[in-house]
């Protein structure tokens, strides 16, 4: 979101903590253990076995192929700040040469790894990461040495009611545990605040922080899934299904990363949703994110020109990563709370650089030194903006003296407007009243417009954004609060519909929505609540092409009235 509210850095951080402190990049903070269950059995000392290497085929021997992993690196937590200690989790060996599987969130950001096999803390194994997938939350490591016992993958069908066992070293304890449960769901939702797994199974076996990366096995010791998450309140635990995990692991152990940019991240937001994004707990050394200049503690707000983590998960973030090749140039926008800076750059391209600052009630400076504080209170103006994502103009509606309005339809007595307490409220008292508010600061050609608007009344209304406004006409994105949207062109005398549709992304009724309207060359793009809905060509307009003009927003009533809406902020920025 391009909403740069000028609030102190401490307040922003405190707000983020309300969500972020419940997340975590390490296994010690990602999971929440469910209450004890009657089906739980712990095996802290399984029977001795003669197996020293080779495939394990008995449940009591599983321990010999399960490992505890300690990752040391630079991690930044929203609550505790920077630390040089990382995650502690579990894993399991799948090859006698010492190839082991774990979760990405266990090893991501680590530079040194200490591994203990089978609970034996008298011997420490060094390990290196062969490959990782942040979106599938899997990683493959290579332990020094060979001749290890190993686990095999389960090849049979997974069905509800199937007995399973979760193996690992929870809570950072060297004592091995084995807990029993059943498969409760064959295909669970893999969206979470720290990954977006495409194939997940759910089970009721007890798990704790530190079980992350450990195997979920059958009574024969075969791996059904890779445990990666649990929920204390709902008595649920989740594992990455073995069929998906095996396919991903085959790629990772060859030394190829998959569905990754090198960020150990989690979705975060503050209470009023003015800051939403992916918090970087750690950055993988040498990754695309590292080379672009991302640091632990950064918040990725946009990736590939699309806002991310708007639903509290990494679904959109991972969808973008999966739809681009690892070497493809990808725009990225980052909020750096530590310095109060908004940065823009590219993965596999232009490194991050500061495009604006925030946190001061008197505004900030751009890298060129041009002031970004407008003469009107509550505004930011940067006439020299040129970098993608850089703000041309932003307002929090403390003053509307640089705005004008045009009543396209209706009577002057039919509406009321007021800027108060950082909000701009519009009341329409009569039917079929259309009023357009446009900013007079300067004209734009290509531009991205964003706004947040809340419906305070009970009746149907239209709100929207428009660009290239002049005597020759304009283009507008028009959203009806019952769930429909329209894109129009005007020649200054009449509106012609170019495209329309409906979207469940629209929060209907008395709700808040954020809208984006991008006017770039011969294309118009509508976004609703952080998701791109439609891109069309201006060739659909029956009128002459429009190249530049003023920008703004509008409110309109239907045959039902009165209505009341309130705008929170408005920005115009450089198009990616």
Alpha-carbon span 526 to 76, nearest angstrom: 35
Residue 348, in any domain of the structure = no
Coil, helix or strand for 290?
Answer: helix
Average pLDDT of the chain, as a whole number:
83
Q: What pLDDT is stored for residue 474 in this prediction?
A: 96
Q: What pLDDT is stored for residue 83 in this prediction?
A: 58
Ranking 34-48, 117-131, 220-234 by mean pLDDT, the lowest is 34-48
User: Which CATH number fits the domain that encloses residue 403?
Assistant: 2.60.120.560
Alpha-carbon span 515 to 450, nearest angstrom: 6
Residue 285, in any domain of the structure = no
Residue 382, in any domain of the structure = no
For the cut 90, the answer to whether the pLDDT of residue 143 exceeds it is: yes
Residue range 411-427: mean pLDDT, rounded: 88
For the cut 60, the answer to whether the pLDDT of residue 156 exceeds it is: yes
Alpha-carbon span 469 to 523, nearest angstrom: 16
pLDDT > 70: percent of the chain: 85
Nearest CA to 372 out of 403, 331, 340 is that of 340
Alpha-carbon span 154 to 372, nearest angstrom: 60
For the cut 70, the answer to whether the pLDDT of residue 420 exceeds it is: yes
Q: Sorting pLDDT into bands at 50, 70 and 90, what band is 576? A: confident
Residue 160, in any domain of the structure = yes
- Indicate the pTM of the whole model: 0.56
Residue 491, in any domain of the structure = yes
Ranking 4-13, 112-121, 549-558 by mean pLDDT, the lowest is 4-13
Q: What pLDDT is stored for residue 18 in this prediction?
A: 33
Residue range 149-169: mean pLDDT, rounded: 96
Q: Which residues contact 231 (CB under 8 A, 6 or more apart)?
A: 31, 32, 34, 237
Ranking 29-38, 228-237, 254-263, 438-447 by mean pLDDT, the lowest is 29-38
Residue 80, in any domain of the structure = yes
For the cut 90, the answer to whether the pLDDT of residue 448 exceeds it is: yes
Q: Sorting pLDDT into bands at 50, 70 and 90, what band is 295? A: very high
Q: Which residues contact 350 (CB under 8 A, 6 or more apart)?
A: none
- Bridge partner list, 572: 393, 449
Q: What pLDDT is stored for residue 519 in this prediction?
A: 96
Please, are residues 479 and 515 in contact by the beta-carbon 8 Å criterion?
yes
Q: What pLDDT is stored for residue 305 in this prediction?
A: 87
Alpha-carbon span 64 to 203, nearest angstrom: 23
Q: What is the DSSP letter of 351?
A: P
Residue range 167-182: mean pLDDT, rounded: 92
Q: What pLDDT is stored for residue 227 in this prediction?
A: 97
Residue 448, in any domain of the structure = yes
For the cut 70, the answer to whether the pLDDT of residue 350 exceeds it is: yes
Alpha-carbon span 73 to 68, nearest angstrom: 17
Q: What pLDDT is stored for residue 36 in this prediction?
A: 28
Q: Sorting pLDDT into bands at 50, 70 and 90, what band is 477? A: very high
For the cut 50, the answer to whether the pLDDT of residue 20 exceeds it is: no
Q: Sorting pLDDT into bands at 50, 70 and 90, what band is 119? A: very high
Greater confidence (172 vs 477) lies with 477
pLDDT > 90: percent of the chain: 56
Q: What pLDDT is stored for residue 233 in this prediction?
A: 64
493 conformational bin, left if phi > 0, alpha if psi -120 to 50, beta if neither:
alpha
Give the domain-ending residue among 252, 278, 309.
252
Residue range 446-474: mean pLDDT, rounded: 90
Q: Which residues contact 68 (CB under 8 A, 6 or more apart)?
A: 88, 89, 90, 91, 115, 116, 119, 168, 169, 174
Residue range 330-357: mean pLDDT, rounded: 91
Q: What pLDDT is stored for residue 82 in this prediction?
A: 61
For the cut 60, the answer to whether the pLDDT of residue 33 exceeds it is: no
Tokens of residue 73, six digits: 């690196």
For the cut 50, the answer to whether the pLDDT of residue 3 exceeds it is: no
Residue range 216-238: mean pLDDT, rounded: 89
Q: Cβ-count burial of 129 within 10 angstroms (0-12 exposed, 13-18 middle, 19+ buried)?
A: buried
For the cut 80, the answer to whether the pLDDT of residue 304 exceeds it is: yes
User: Which CATH number fits the domain that encloses residue 41?
Assistant: 2.40.10.120
Q: What pLDDT is stored for residue 65 in this prediction?
A: 98
Q: What pLDDT is stored for residue 396 in this prediction?
A: 87
Identify how many contiguous H helices and E strands the chain contains and give both numbers: 6, 37
Q: Which residues contact 22 (CB under 8 A, 6 or more apart)?
A: none
Q: What pLDDT is stored for residue 79 in this prediction?
A: 60
Coil, helix or strand for 268?
Answer: strand
Give the domain-ending residue among 252, 271, 294.
252
Give the domain-ending residue among 219, 252, 285.
252
Domain count of the chain? 2
Per residue in 383-412, pLDDT (tens digit) is: 788 888 888 999 988 878 889 999 998 998
Please, are residues 132 and 138 in contact by the beta-carbon 8 Å criterion?
yes
Range of the domain at 556: 395-573
Cis peptide before 562 (omega within 30 of 0): yes
Alpha-carbon span 101 to 423, nearest angstrom: 52
Residue 445, in any domain of the structure = yes
């Amino acid at each position: 979101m391009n909403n740069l509210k000028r609030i102190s850095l401490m307040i922003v951080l405190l707000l983020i903590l309300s969500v972020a402190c419940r997340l975590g990049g390490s296994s010690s903070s990602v999971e929440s253990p469910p209450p004890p269950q009657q089906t739980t059995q712990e095996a802290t000392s399984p029977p001795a076995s003669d197996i020293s290497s080779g495939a394990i085929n008995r449940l009591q021997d599983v321990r010999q192929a399960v490992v505890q992993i300690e990752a040391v690196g630079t991690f930044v937590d929203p609550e505790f700040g920077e630390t040089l200690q990382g995650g502690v989790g579990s894993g399991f060996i799948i090859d006698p040469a010492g190839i082991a599987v774990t979760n990405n969130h266990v090893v991501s950001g680590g530079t040194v790894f200490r591994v203990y096999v089978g609970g034996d803390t008298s011997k420490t194994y060094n390990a290196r990461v062969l490959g990782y997938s942040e979106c599938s939350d899997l990683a493959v490591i290579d332990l020094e040495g060979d001749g290890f016992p190993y686990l095999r993958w389960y090849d049979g069908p997974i069905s509800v009611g199937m007995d399973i066992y979760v193996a690992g070293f929870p809570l950072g304890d060297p004592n091995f545990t084995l807990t029993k449960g059943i498969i409760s769901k064959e295909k669970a939702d893999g969206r979470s605040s720290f990954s977006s797994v495409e194939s997940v199974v759910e089970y009721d076996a007890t798990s704790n922080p530190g079980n992350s990366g450990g195997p979920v096995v059958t009574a024969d010791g075969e791996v059904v899934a890779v445990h990666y998450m649990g929920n204390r309140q709902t008595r649920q635990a989740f594992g990455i299904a073995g069929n998906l995990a095996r396919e991903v692991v085959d790629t990772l152990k060859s030394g190829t990363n998959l569905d990754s940019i090198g960020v150990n991240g989690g979705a975060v937001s503050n209470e009023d949703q003015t800051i939403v994004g992916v918090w970087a707990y750690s950055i993988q050394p040498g990754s695309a994110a590292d080379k672009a200049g991302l640091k632990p503690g950064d918040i990725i707000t946009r990736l590939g020109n699309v806002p991310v983590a708007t639903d509290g998960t990494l679904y959109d973030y991972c969808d973008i990563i999966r739809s681009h090749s690892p070497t493809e140039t990808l725009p990225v926008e980052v909020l750096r709370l530590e310095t109060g800076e908004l940065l823009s750059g590219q993965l596999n391209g232009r490194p991050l650089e500061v495009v604006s600052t925030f946190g001061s009630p008197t505004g900030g400076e751009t890298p060129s030194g041009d002031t970004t504080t407008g003469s009107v209170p509550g505004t930011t103006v940067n006439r020299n903006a040129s970098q993608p994502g850089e703000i041309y103009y932003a307002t929090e509606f403390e003053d509307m003296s640089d705005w004008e309005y045009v009543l396209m339809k209706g009577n002057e007595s039919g509406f009321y407007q007021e800027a108060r307490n950082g909000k701009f409220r519009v009341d329409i008292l009569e039917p079929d009243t259309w009023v357009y508010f446009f900013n007079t600061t300067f004209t734009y050609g290509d531009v991205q417009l964003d706004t947040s608007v809340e419906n305070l009344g009970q009746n149907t209304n239209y709100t929207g954004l428009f660009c290239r406004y002049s005597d020759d006409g304009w283009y507008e994105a028009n959203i009806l609060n019952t769930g429909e949207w329209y894109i129009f062109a005007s020649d200054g005398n009449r509106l012609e519909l170019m495209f329309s549709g409906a979207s469940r992304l629209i929060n209907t009724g008395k709700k808040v929505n954020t809208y984006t309207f991008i006017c770039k060359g011969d294309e118009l793009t509508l976004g609703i609540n952080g998701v791109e809905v439609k891109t069309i060509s201006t060739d659909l307009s029956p009128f002459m092409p429009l190249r530049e003009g003023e920008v703004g927003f509008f409110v309109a009533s239907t045959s039902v009235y009165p209505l009341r809406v309130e705008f929170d902020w408005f920005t115009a920025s450089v198009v990616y």
